[in-house]
Amino acid sequence: MLLSDFLRQTLGLTGTHVGCEHGVCGACTILLDGEAARSCLMFAVQAHGHEVTTVEGLSPENAGELHPLQAAFRQSHALQCGFCTPGILMTLVALLRDHPDPSEREIRETLSGNLCRCTGYQNIVDAVKLACDATLPR
Amino acid sequence: MTPRYLGKRILRNEDARLLTGRALFVDDVQLPGMLHVAFVRSNYAHGRLRSVDVSTARQRHGVLAVFTAADLGDYWRPGPLLVPPPPIPDLVFHQCTQVPLVRDKVRHVGEPIAMIVAESRYVAEDAMEDVLVDIEPLEAVVDLEAALDPAAPLIHEHLTSNVAAHVVQRKGEYERARAQADLVIRRRFLYDRGAAAAIENRAVVASWDARAEELTIWDTTQAPIPIRNGLAQMLHLLESQVTVIAPFVGGGFGPKIMMFYPEEVLVPWASKRLGVPLKWTEDRQENFLATTQERGQIHDAEIAFSREGRVLGVRDVFLHDSGAYDSYGLTIPINSQCTLLGPYDIADYESEFTAVFTNKTLVTPVRGAGRQHGVFVIERLLDIGARSLGIDRVEIRKRNLIGPDRFPHNHGIMFQDSAPLVYDSGNYLPAVEEAARIVDYDRFVREEQPQLRKAGRHVGIGVTCYVEGTGIGPYEGARVTVEPSGEVRVATGVGTQGQGHFTALAQVVAEVLGVDVEKVRVVTGDTRAFHWGTGTFASRGAVVAGTACHAAATAVREKILDLAARMLDVPKDRLVLSGGRVQVGDSGATGQAIELGALAVEANPLRGAVQPGSEPGLEATAYFGPDRGSTASGVHAMVVEVDPETSMVEIKRYIVVHDCGRLINPLIVEGQIQGGVAHGIGNAFYEQLVYDQQGQLLNASFMDYLLPTAADVPRVEMAHLETPSPFNPVGLKGVGEAGCIPTGALFAQAVEDALADYEIEICEIPLSPNKLHELIAKSDVRK
């Protein structure tokens, strides 16, 4: 069983989406031990003993607050249909952890591993910059 | 009164659910006892189905049922015609619609032959290997011109040729224009479109409740209400026994409205027959083969100019690829035919097209819906004319625009919605001037470009115009209800695929009722909540459903004022709706006022009587059915640099000046445009569905079919002009497709300009680095 199917069907964590099942679109991106990974290219059993974070883990439901990157996405209108969004968030969370203040080029290069058909990407790039600005003073 | 919510950059109501992974998409639906479906599909583009042996598959552990066409009995029948052709004189149309499962002949790769129901998708897909399909291959019909050869194999054998339709439309007398012309230019143009490639594939979940005798379907459709009505008819159920829910849908772009896909017909039928909930979710390869797409047209076009660069007339004869069936009617080629006229005053026009059956996936609208093709033809003809006449490219466009005093403008031909092609309003010249100003056209051409060229750089600029017919009928409706909590509920029939309906429609209602936008909860795409309407297509959601919301909210407002006037004992005209309250005059927070929630409770009394002639509650339903659509317009400009060694194109600047009437939410409008431009860039340079001579799609994966990425799409600089539509009270026009309509034409113009020293002429879209390299290599004037 694929990790993406295990997350969605067995655990009922349907925030992780499946768009191509061949590792190109990035909608199924999760964090595996903190690294962005395609959950459609792994078997669930390969995640045994590893830490998996999905979009549901970014903002625990009872906390009622969005993760700063999620908030920046809303602020910048960085999502339309929202289907690719969870995978993009996970990709960018990993980017921002390692590069707290990425250049536009770095953002675009990282983001180029995720396909979005609605937004044309610009507002996502802007959201990342906004999230950096918002988190810097902390 | 100054708008409080309309026209404001209001953040979206739906975002929190989508950002946290809580939004429901169809594939997220999990029901107890649910089984999974997979389809065995044709590997051949054209062939006779000799036999299907499913006996081994039926015996596989975990398989509950396998169905072929023979199992469907009377339920097997060709699908309906989605859009009947407009009443155009002498129009020829041969209706050949898709079937649920192939019975005798396969007509494209991916056509479903057998349906497997199993305990998991894994088992169902394993069982596909057990099905023995015997097909006698026939020669595939792939090329549009070859399809019309009298010796070509017939795809639909009851017809005498592969012609699906033939349509001629005329205004004026082209021969007259030609006779008066100083210059006549003739060219052949190829324009190919591509896959919609929504990141969410299609999915259908169906659950028959035998006790309640009710069928519930979750469907990634853009048109839940027509799906419900059609399924009820096919399954001999009352419409009220069938619920169709299109929850959050992960991108539509056109192909998610194709009534009916075989899977949409089969999954509900099988659920009812087996008495268990069923789910089918398309995989990406199926999406490339079995979800509709838009493809190519071949235009042979001629334009007649005066010496001054006035367009006297155009004649265009083109072929349109229908694919294996023509279930969507003639929407695409008629859009091409009509949109060619653009914002230009063209007195004499003759357009003839032949739609052709081919052994390829069905063609139905993809964002733009044939408009690109027409825009490409006229814009290229203007560019070539400008060069021949020694007139600047922007100037020749200015000389041909329809003046602002000539609206409504009737072109005298029929549009796709069976209404005459009439532009409601427009003001084109300021848009051209604004785009030229923002891109700094004159200075670029006069100073910057010559300097850069001297330095050996290949930089080019382009400016193209377009119109977009939007917001067509027949109608949409909405119900607006003030709840006792003071929140307002809006239910409408259109489905949502990312356009921000939860916010834009809320803004329209909030404006009328004076409540905060986040207090307005919109429900879309659920036939339990609202069951009158058609769907989301043709950039019509905001225009048609938005106007219906406006009308329903206005009726609720009257009820609010009537009741409040009675309770407060003041005349209605002294009442103001603001901040979720009705107050007397501008008395502010201290004056006499009633909360809307309290008023809603008063309007639905537990004792006493409702006033004669009135209705309980603060609720109203209203509909809007425009006679015809409203025409949006715009100008795109672009600066590119081409590397002649690699043939890669770098977009330096991209500007959109557009006019979609009155804006509801600039944030959402700009998002639509940026995303549309990205789709257009894909169409112009990256995306093409490549079929071989056997009708096999060679690039049916995201590895091989390239969607533009964040590395390819620049920031689009935008400016808005607002010429309100007189066809609806808010003045709205649609915007959903605007971003991708002129992009191919613009790309061709700017790249050609960048490579001016090679003197190439680009008559084909999509380009690609390879294709551009071939053009450069063929040039014999290389300097």
HEC readout, chain A = CEHHHHHHHHCCCCCCCCCCCCCCCCCCEEEECCEEEEHHHCEHHHHCCCCEECHHHCCCHHHCCCCHHHHHHHHHCCCCCCCCHHHHHHHHHHHHHHCCCCCHHHHHHHHCCCCCCCCCCHHHHHHHHHHHHHHCCC
Q: Quote the minimal CA–CA distance from B187 to chain A in Å.
A: 33
> Is the CB of B205 inside 8 Å of chain A's CB atoms?
no
* Residues whose CB falls within 8 Å of the CB of residue A63, separated by 6 or more in sequence, listed in order: none
What separation, in Å, do the N-terminal and C-terminal C-alpha atoms of chain B show?
63
- B47-53 sheet: strands from edge to edge: B105-106, B47-53, B132-137
pLDDT of residue B585: 84
For residue B243, is it left (φ>0), alpha (ψ between -120 and 50) or beta? beta
Of A70, A81, A118, the CB nearest to B19: A70
Amino acid at A26: G
pLDDT of residue A60: 73
Q: Supply the Cα-derived Rg of chain A in whole angstroms.
A: 14
Contact between B273 and B230 (Cβ < 8 Å): no
pLDDT of residue B417: 85
Distance (Å, whole) CA A105 – CA A90: 19
Most A-contacting residue of B10, B120, B199 (CB-CB within 10 A), to test interface: B199
Strand A29-32 to B278-281 pairing: unpaired
Most B-contacting residue of A83, A84, A128 (CB-CB within 10 A), to test interface: A83
| Mean of pLDDT values over A41-56 | 97
Q: What is the pLDDT of residues A96-130, one digit of tens each?
A: 999 999 999 999 999 999 999 999 999 999 999 99
Q: In chain A, which residue's Cα lies nearest the Cα of B249?
A: A81
Q: What is the pLDDT of residues B352-372, one digit of tens each?
A: 999 999 999 999 999 999 999
Of B199, B252, B672, the CB nearest to A115: B199
pLDDT of residue A138: 38
> Is the CB of B202 inside 8 Å of chain A's CB atoms?
no
Distance (Å, whole) CA B337 – CA B268: 38
Q: In chain B, which residue's Cα lies nearest the Cα of A24?
A: B702
Contact between B692 and B33 (Cβ < 8 Å): no
Q: Residue B686: its chain A contacts at CB < 8 A? A: none
- Give how far Cα A34 sits from Cα of A2, A51, A122, Å: 19, 8, 26
Of B27, B196, B674, the CB nearest to A123: B674
For residue B478, the tally of other CB atoms under 10 A from its CB is: 32
Q: Quote the minimal CA–CA distance from A82 to chain B in Å.
A: 5
> Could you tell me which residues are beta bridge partners of residue B492?
B478, B524
The DSSP output letter for B714 is P
pLDDT of residue B588: 60
Most A-contacting residue of B19, B496, B656, B709 (CB-CB within 10 A), to test interface: B19
Please name the residue that has the structure tokens 């029939």: B493
The rounded average pLDDT for each run of 10 residues, N- to C-terminus, in chain B (783 residues) is 90 96 97 98 98 98 98 96 94 98 98 98 98 98 98 98 98 96 98 97 98 98 95 97 97 93 98 98 98 97 98 98 97 97 97 98 97 98 98 98 96 89 96 98 98 97 96 92 98 92 96 97 95 88 93 97 93 94 77 92 84 87 92 97 96 97 96 97 97 98 97 97 93 92 98 96 96 92 64
The DSSP output letter for B154 is P
pLDDT of residue B255: 96
Q: Residue B703: its chain A contacts at CB < 8 A? A: 22, 24
Q: In chain B, which residue's Cα lies nearest the Cα of A70?
A: B19
pLDDT of residue B587: 60
Residue A136 in this model has a pLDDT that exceeds 50: no
Do B21 and A1 make contact, defined as CB atoms within 8 angstroms? no
Q: In chain B, which residue's Cα lies nearest the Cα of A88?
A: B19
pLDDT of residue A63: 66
Q: In Å, how far from its chain's centre is CA B617?
A: 37
pLDDT of residue B590: 64
pLDDT of residue B589: 58
Do B283 and A119 make contact, defined as CB atoms within 8 angstroms? no
> Could you tell me which residues are beta bridge partners of residue B526?
B245
Q: Quote the minimal CA–CA distance from B529 to chain A in Å.
A: 21
Distance (Å, whole) CA A57 – CA A26: 18
- Cite the DSSP H helix spans in B25-173: 55-59, 121-128, 144-147
Q: Is B1 exposed, middle or buried (0-12, 13-18, 19+ CB in 10 A)?
A: exposed
pLDDT of residue A134: 73
Q: In Å, how far from its chain's centre is CA A62?
A: 20
Q: What is the pLDDT of residues B140-185, one digit of tens each?
A: 999 999 999 999 999 999 999 999 999 999 999 999 999 999 999 9
Q: In chain A, which residue's Cα lies nearest the Cα of B24?
A: A14
Helix (H) or strand (E) run with residue B566 in it: helix B546-568
Of B16, B500, B711, the CB nearest to A109: B711
Strand B297-305 to B278-281 pairing: unpaired
Q: In chain B, which residue's Cα lies nearest the Cα of A60?
A: B20
| Complex ipTM value | 0.97
* Residues whose CB falls within 8 Å of the CB of residue B609, separated by 6 or more in sequence, listed in order: none
> Is the CB of B704 inside 8 Å of chain A's CB atoms?
no
Give the residue from B543, B475, B557 showing the smallest Cα distance to B729.
B543
Of A66, A84, A120, the CB nearest to B16: A66
> Is the CB of B701 inside 8 Å of chain A's CB atoms?
yes
Q: Residue B707: its chain A contacts at CB < 8 A? A: 115, 117
Q: In chain B, which residue's Cα lies nearest the Cα of A2?
A: B122
* Residues whose CB falls within 8 Å of the CB of residue B714, separated by 6 or more in sequence, listed in order: A122, B651, B652, B653, B654
> Is the CB of B10 inside 8 Å of chain A's CB atoms?
no
Amino acid at B279: K
Query: How many A/B residue pairs have CB atoms within 8 Å?
Result: 175
